[in-house]
Structure 1
Amino acid sequence: MTDDLFTDRLRLSRAVPADLDAVFGIQSDPRVWTHYPSLRHTDTEATIRMMQRWERSWERAGLGSWVVRLRDTGEVIGNGGCTLLDGGVWNVGYRIAADHHGRGYATELARAALAQARIVAPERPVIAYLVEHNHGSAHVAQKIGLDLVHRAPDAGNPDPSVIRLVYADRPLAPAQLAAALR
């Protein structure tokens, strides 16, 4: 499998160190983190650690998150894909730059990621975990065919009223669900 994948409008590329500034620009933008502001990256070290997690997934499982570029211009507009979690599940994630919200890019990215996960290791469940008030993210999970399998308070969230949702493409074993709640 190639590390680059093309969709109708996007080029999905395995991250390289030269992508750091563009990825940090998205991860540090408060407009992208309105649903979970405490996770916003405030320094590049957080982005480096995230990109290292992606790379470990690529090395371990043959799939990880990509840097998302517009196919026609090459502009970096996000990141996401399927990353292997310790519980043996794929986590489909999608983070799109605020200036590009509402154009269907997250759904296009998530569909491509789900398809690749099913090619690379179809026996592994695909999950999406998010906070309940992030309706856009929940809508993407539903559009790619994931079903709600868990709803509970979000342990460790600075806001104790926040609810964690987990969507999945199949029922999860307890250890698999636990991976989404870490």
Structure 2
Amino acid sequence: MLRGWRESDLEPFAALNADPVVMEHFPSTITRARSDSIVLERVLPMFAEHGFGWWAVDVPGVAPFVGFVGLQEPSFDAWFTPCVEVGWRLSREHWGHGYATEAARAALTHGFDVVGLDEIVSFTVPANVRSRAVMERLGMRYDGEFEHPRLAEGSPLRTHVLYRLPRP
């Protein structure tokens, strides 16, 4: 279930961002203070500004917060921007159950049917096979690689793969 954020989500969101396995394909883990500021200064304003953002994900009968899934506008310049990206981050004990795919499908439907987007993209590092598999299950198609401008030259995470999905 996709829903708005609650104050009670801040602690499990911080734990998610501090988990080195979850954050393996990111430059570093995120501190509690930074994690809280992401929700308060970035996530909540996204909805007010764009009508979309990162939703908290509940799995009824399993857990009240397993991570987030949603839409955002990347804040960097690349050959494919401006665009809207679908993304997700779930706690590892909830990986492999189809939650990311199911929730991302709902986010895509919102993006196409409610927001009226013509295309949604997603990207990650080539080694992130779990996220790439979600992208492929969503019907997204590989569209090449790019160097992420927010990552330092020489970083093993700088090269990213891009997937795209046009409006159905």
Fold-level similarity (TM above 0.5): yes
Match of 2:155 in 1: 160
| Alignment counterpart, residue 76 of structure 1, candidates 61, 65, 69 | 65
Q: Report the secondary structure of 1:89's partner residue.
A: coil
Structure 2: distance between partners of 1:66 and 1:19: 11
For the residues of structure 1 that align with 2:140 and 2:33, how far apart are their CA atoms?
32
**Deviations 1:56-77 (Å, cap 9, x if unpaired)?**
2200121111111111244311
The size of the alignment, in residue pairs, is 159
In structure 2, how many angstroms separate the alpha carbons of the residues matched to 1:23 and 1:124? 31
How big is each residue's C-alpha offset from its partner over 1:36-91, in whole Å with a ceiling of 9 and x where there is no partner? 2x2321x2222123213221220012111111111124431111211234555221
Q: Which residue of 2 aligns with 1:149?
A: 143
CA RMSD of aligned residues (A): 2.2
Unaligned runs of 5+ in 2: 76-80
Q: Give me the TM-score of the superposition, normalised by structure 1.
A: 0.77
Question: Counterpart in 2 of 1:98?
Answer: 92
Gaps of 5+ in 1: 1-10, 171-182
Using the size of structure 2 for normalisation, the TM-score is 0.83
CA contact (8 A) 2:108 2:120 kept: yes
| Residues 88 and 124, structure 1, Cα contact 8 Å, conserved in 2 | no
Matched, 1:39 2:28: yes
Answering whether residue 59 of structure 2 is matched by residue 59 of structure 1, we say no
1:12 matched to 2:17? no
Percent identical: 23
Runs of 4 or more consecutive aligned structure 1 residues displaced over 4 Å after TM superposition: none
Partner of 1:48: 36
Q: Deviations 1:108-127 (Å, cap 9, x if unpaired)? A: 11111111111222234211
Give the equivalent residue in structure 2 for 1:169: 165
Q: Residue 57 and residue 150 in structure 1: after superposition, are their counterparts in 2 closer, same or farther (change >3 A)?
A: farther
Q: Distance in 1 between matches of 2:148 and 2:72?
A: 21
Which residue does 2:129 correspond to in 1? 135
Contact 2:146 2:162 in 1 (8 A): no
3-state DSSP of counterpart to 2:96: coil
Bigger mean CA deviation after superposition, 106-115 or 47-56: 47-56
Mapped partners of 1:118, 1:21: distance in 2? 32
